[in-house]
Amino acid sequence: MTQLFNDVKITGVADVSQLTILANATQVTNPIQVWQDSAGNPLLRVSGDGRLQIGNNIALGSADALINANYTPSGALPTSVWHATGVLNVPTSLSGTVNWVDHELQLTGAGTVNGVQSALYTKLTNSTTGNAGTADLRAATFQAISSGGSSAVPVGKVTGIRAIASNAVTGGSAYLSQAIGVETTISNDAGGSITAATAFSVAAPSNNGSIGTVYGLKILDLTQGSANYALYTGQGIVHVGDVLETPVLASTPTSTPPANFVQLYTKLLAGAPQLHAKNSSGTEYLVGGGGGGGAPTTSKYLLQVADGALPNAQAMGALNTGLVKNTTTTGVQSIAVSGTDYTTPTGSENLSNKTISASTLNNSVIGGTAPAAGHFSTLQVGTSATSGNVLTADASGNATWQAAAAGGSHTPSFLTRSANYSSTSTSFVDIDGTNLIITKTTSSPNIMVFCAGTFGCTSVFYMNLIMDSTTYATNAHATYGLLQGYGGNVNGPMVGYFTGVSAGSHTFKPRWLSSVGTGYPVYNSGGGAFQQTIYMAVMEL
């Protein structure tokens, strides 16, 4: 039933509901109440399940919203769809909390919760096709204005927006993987283009008065966690547009960075602040100073002068003037002691157990001609000498070991032989290559060989001496030898003098020949009737 009324007014006469609209038991499709304009278009309606829908385009609103305001203007554009303005008069004090617009959502029950759940969701969509080059599109703007306070008692704090993520214990425990106070993200669909994307931006203040200190981002002490990071970033360059201030620590931090990271900090070193770094192994380095890669400050170095930045270094300038001596294993440097660690050019120290090689030894006063004071208890020159050699020099003064030019071993080697010998050979042969022979090791280059006895021949005979394969007599004497005899006996010695003999073992023998040969043998038996003794000796000169 439809009834038409004009200027309906309900005046209550008691403290009861003045207007109650009771829905039908089957009221589901149609709203309980509808307000319309003069053309019959709905402006407000209440659904059968208690949802309030307002606006001039209700059909486009979200069907599952408890309160839905959908407005499509046909005339002047509105500046606000939801406007909750209030004025609180505070005559004396206001100490409680005022939440002028309060949005609260509670999720209860034993079911599984997935996806994103929002207590407040705002969205601004720009679908215009005109020029929006100077537009600043904001999904939400929060502003807190203070118009009170005085210079003596200023207003304590004004906060434009504050976000709190709480892990509230209501049933004895509460467990949360991550708690994020503010999170921002930027979405750019395929085909979209963004010139510069800034997830979080701090605009410069608008200031026509005076501001003491401006903080673009201020983070108070964070010490409540087991690991505390005031600022933690992933990959991406960190750009600082001005100076960077860091505290000066009195000691090295106890924490260490993760693998492949270093900690940078300023620490007092010898009373001056120095930039340090510490790696994941806990090793501390001094950064900069020498322009290098940062050497460990705790390592040991050699410096010309002391440097407080390197407390474990040894300053060479602290040592006395002199020759530096290194200590094995530790590497500690000290000044060598003359006469103990080295000999001085003009000193009188004795050299003991010293080997001088590939050098020149001059026992003369420098710049003078007189021999210097001092002596050698033992002296070894080279390793090529053999026993009995002498040190000789060539015209350039180069010394070498040689066999003694004269002297050598003056003890002769000798033998006697009593036997009958004869030979008809017309060329020199050994008298007795087995028994009439002396083998001697010599060191002198000069050797004298002596051989004596009674020798004879009915014709002409010759005798000679040989050392190894070298015959003593040469040239004409190679034919006639050292001793000659004609048609009878000869009593006399043969003496040979060999020179330029190399050091070592040598063999010496007497030799003879008969100039005629058969029928005229050479002999040592006194005409063959009796035996004569042969004497032989070898001696170094």
CA 123 to CA 125: how far, in whole Å? 6
Quote the CA–CA distance of 516 and 478 in Å, as a whole number: 17
Listed residue (534, 516, 515, 514) closest to 524, CA to CA: 534
pLDDT at 135: 92
- Band the pLDDT of 295: cuts 50, 70, 90: low
93 by Cβ neighbours in 10 Å (0-12 / 13-18 / 19+) ranks as exposed
Residues 6+ apart with CB under 8 A from 443: 386, 387, 388, 389, 403, 404, 408, 409, 503, 540
Indicate if the pLDDT at residue 526 is higher than 70.
no
Residues 244-270 have pLDDT tens digits of 999 999 889 999 999 999 999 999 887
pLDDT number for residue 378: 59
The pair of structure tokens assigned to 271 is 């009373």
**Helix, strand, coil fractions of the chain, as percent rounded to 5:** 0, 25, 75
Specify the amino acid at residue 238.
Answer: V
Mean local confidence (pLDDT), 381-391: 75
Other Cβ atoms within 10 Å of 230 Cβ, number: 9
- CA nearest neighbour of 307 among 286, 323, 322, 328: 286
Question: How distant is the alpha carbon of residue 355 from its chain centre?
Answer: 41
Residue 528: what pLDDT? 47
Separation between Cα atoms, residue 259 and residue 261, nearest integer Å: 6
Report the first-to-last Cα separation within the chain, whole angstroms.
Answer: 166
d(CA 406, CA 2): 162
Residues in contact with 153: Cβ distance below 8 Å, sequence separation at least 6, in sequence order: none
- Identify the bridge partners of residue 523 per DSSP, sorted by sequence position: 422, 456
DSSP state of 100: S
392, 379 Cβ separation under 8 angstroms: no
Residue 299 has pLDDT above 80, yes or no: yes
User: What percentage of residues in the chain have a pLDDT greater than 90?
Assistant: 28
Q: What is the DSSP letter of 232?
A: -
Please state the pTM of the whole predicted model. Answer: 0.51
**CA trace torsion 255, 261, 263, 269 (10° rounding):** 110
Q: Do the bridges between strand 272-278 and strand 284-286 make them parallel or antiparallel, or are there none, so unpaired?
A: antiparallel
What does the pLDDT look like over 4-50, one tens digit per residue?
Answer: 777 888 899 999 999 888 998 888 888 899 998 888 888 898 888 88
Which two three-digit tokens encode residue 173? Answer: 């425990």
- Residue scoring higher pLDDT (404 or 220): 220
How confident is the model over 151-184, as pLDDT tens digits?
A: 899 998 999 888 889 998 987 888 889 999 898 9
Sheet containing 263-269: give its strands across.
248-249, 263-269, 272-278, 284-286
- Please state the rounded mean pLDDT for residues 439-448: 91
Query: Is the model more confident about 473 or about 78?
Result: 78
Query: pLDDT at residue 376 above 60?
Result: no
Banded pLDDT at 349 (limits 50, 70, 90): low
Q: Point out which residues pair with 440 in neighbouring strands.
A: 506
Does an H or E element contain 45, and which? strand 42-46
d(CA 121, CA 140): 10
DSSP H/E element including 477: helix 476-480
* 8 Å CB contact between 71 and 56: yes
What is the pLDDT at residue 173?
Answer: 87
Mean pLDDT of 401-415: 71
For residues 362 and 370, give the distance between their C-alpha atoms in angstroms, rounded to a whole number: 11
Top-confidence residue, 275 or 85:
275
Average pLDDT, the chain: 83
- Three-state secondary-structure class, residue 267: strand
- Rounded (5°) CA angle 52-56-62: 50
- Which domains can be identified in the chain, with CATH numbers? 33-69 (no CATH), 248-299 (no CATH), 413-540 (2.60.120)
CA 205 to mean position of chain CA atoms: 49
Assign 508 to helix, strand or coil: strand
Looking at the DSSP bridge assignments, the partners of residue 415 are 536
Distance CA 224, CA 478 (A): 118
Percent of the chain with pLDDT over 70: 86
Average pLDDT over residues 390-401: 78
Pair 401, 485: CB distance under 8 Å: no
| pLDDT, position 525 | 65
Measured in whole angstroms, how far is the alpha carbon of residue 526 from the centre of its chain? 99
* Cα–Cα distance, 524 to 455 (Å, whole number): 4
Task: Tell me phi and psi for residue 317, to 5 degrees.
Answer: -65, -15
CA distances from 384 to 389, 390, 405 (A): 10, 11, 17
